[in-house]
Structure 1
């Protein structure tokens, strides 16, 4: 019968000595306190169940079992059971055909366990009554008689997990009066608390591990990640976000996000109702300010953060510095444009060269029928020289379009740079300053063509300084890794820089300086830089230029090292 139905404080049975019952009750209370003490600070479920088994097995008097609901909540699984002797345990497992750890009790089959779990009752019953429910008559009788269960009683009480019954605690002894029920219920409460605390601790550890994993992912991300509140004050930035902007993370906390936005981005946000009205945007290219007030191009995604009630609480921004990517795209576009122009220029130059050959040939024939000094002879000589100059231009166009055939050989690039520069500046009022290390890599290239490319760059620098000045030429060994931003392969290169002290190149002209026939100088042909670009490209290298008005221009030549 249910203890709760009969009421608390049930009397001793007939013939039971009250003093013995009181002594037994005290023993149970003391034993319960001992088990409760053993359960303190157990870290996980296995430790809790292990402590229960250890204490009951060590008692030599009581048997304790913890049965927990299976996932289907229709069966109980024996989580731990301390049978007083290994012989009993072996006999039970032999009769059931299963180890105790794998044995399941159906709540539909057992009315006793069903009441404890489904009605949350605490029951004081004979062990043999439970055996009768679980096994066929002859087997049940054999188990009860053999193991002495006919003389033993057990108290079954619910184990509570998060407000609902999650299992059953069973305590068995030869003498276990109903007076012990409150103590057994208290012990079940200790076990419930220990199991729930262990479960919460494991869940918390898992949650903490997930948080650490996410935190590490965010902190180690190559993309900048930041969170700001509804007032646009930054409340969190990862290392990448701070590094991209030239700050430390601590420096950025509390800053206004608008402090790093360009005017263009602020206007765009205002045009869409303000930053707080933006729900989400992806892949928006924008410009941000660094700490030193320089700018960079960023690819930015933007999300409005909301609390569990749907109220906006801030913004999440993810950005990536795409300056190098944009530079590479521009260089690739430039190279493709020059390649297209080269095909066009090559076709024109080839046809024009054929025409010039006929013209020069006929002029030579006409001069053969004249004497030197005659007016017509001199006129034809002037025309012949003009045609030869035109042929020189067509040859440069052909070099730009497809280049002459190269004869690659190992060359001392340091010597070649010096000789080409000195030759180009011979007789001019411009000086040359060299900074070339002794351990410069060797280069496999066509000596004549590379000399022409360097010559053209130096002449361009000299023409940028009509009043005189100094051309500074530096060379160095460099190794380009992944993401270097240039349209050439990664690897080792010799980088040569030719810098002048001229007025510089306007920004709008910088993208066109390698176009054939583009020039801003009255006497320039507009082919020198184009030819240099074509030669270097044919050798697997690249030329880039940078300039600022009033600070001259610098051309960087990259040639693959051997």
Structure 2
């Protein structure tokens, strides 16, 4: 189409008199005219110029108009150019021949100026609209892909429910958690997705949230399909429609298994530490950064005269009261000295401890800062012992040696306990902050939640475009699907629905989730057309050899027809041709996508949808879907054939420490030994070193992307140079990377996309062998 200048009209006629008549009034219009006198000339011109419309004479020598039209329509570049035949032939047979050849209209000679102009402008405008629609559809597809990537890239499971506690949407992470594909989740309740115990818990808590309409946060346990116990931090928020009404709820899961495990390990480690500290003969006092007592062991209780329960929370100077032996003056606080120095100190060589209600004693003490994993000081540990008898029994020189020895010992113990306390307290703090104080996680979840709320309405309407837009088909029986979808929409309304299904109704090959959406959209429109109540009749029947009918000549074979007829107000004639156009709507709160999506779904299923309506007489939608005439049978799905792989030594390359540790645990669960490396350079050196040892690497899993380092693709090439028989698996979070799609071309034997399950990992390992 000529987007920058005038609309181009190509006129092909071998009769000068006809050309003269057309030019007499077309030259006065705002068109650019191209005049040719044969079909051969027209075909040659079309190789260089693409007009906006063609006026084509039927009766021409050498190549008539019908054949010229057929050849034009055979060219993909020209197929959408409207062709209007000009002829004195006006029989039905001639017109049918022209339309079959690809023409869109007829102009009968002699020409009527007004008629010719109207037909030309009509078809040029229709073509412009068709091209605009195509551009809009391409833009929708692009936006759909972005939206799908956003939702499915979120690693946390996300689900959406309606006010009846039925699932209406979820992301891929939720599918993995539930162990079911989306089409087996949508439209169902919790008992159809999870175990009865988990489902009951979900339903009660979701109903409670829906009842109050307030966001909630809970911690729940889910038993995965493989029997694994999964702890989730679940945030639930109301799903509010554009009109402010509550439409359901949105739930976002955060897997806290690692947090729970860390808490448990931290608690166990703290218990072990407590037992160890209680078993030590020296007194041990720990404080926070403010000098408040956190813990004292039994030895410290005996030496200070304080019980741990009474000492906790009190200032350490009140518990550990030390004075200078020679002057009798109060000694500087060991906690303050360590905090100022920021390092381990032998605090005093001539300190005297004044215990609560006891006898003064000479002590040797030392202190050290307690640091978390980020090397921040979070407290102090003070270790001391009673050296009164030692000082009395030995000479000054021996006493000094003893004190020095005690100081060294105390320093070593302080260092060891400092490391232990740093790890334990660091884990506790990080674990606690991960649940209640981690602003980064909260911010990320908040952003994801806001984006989800804004996109929820569009997401639901564009379900048909998810996963690339293609339906996931399976053998489907229509009666249950149709009746359940219709009844779901009409529940609680004034509209009744009656069903009629042929006893021998054929099955279809379809995506049940998408087909349910078609039925619901049409039923919903019918209900809206009957605000005061009415009746809908749904009928399913078999249609043999559809090509024999006049309605759909381009469809061949056996079809199942779904007819949906209502008693509503009907569709006005002036808009009925536009109802399947995207964004066309007569509803104040509609977005015009419902019937457009229905049309798209039916088309992707190889079917067709028609509509007939009379004002105030109701509307009839007829859906034709290709039938499977074979008798209903329950097909058995082939079981995955995985060869068993015995225990092997597997090297895992990943720049993320957490993921490396996770890989170690996963491989251990599968009975394999893991060797962990962080980048390509380390992978190559480690592989070469172990291949020369008695314990070679059997298999290598390479992360495709290593920021700032050698990634999986380059590493694979170098490993294969070292060992052409190396067994390699590529792993990546970018499933659309060319290497993942054609891994064999890069030397890999298998590929696994992150995040992956144990089953997927086991399958990849088996494939690599």
Instruction: Name the TM-score, length of structure 2 as normaliser.
Output: 0.27
Name the larger-Rg structure: 1
Larger RCO, structures 1/2 (Cα 8 Å, 6+ apart): 1
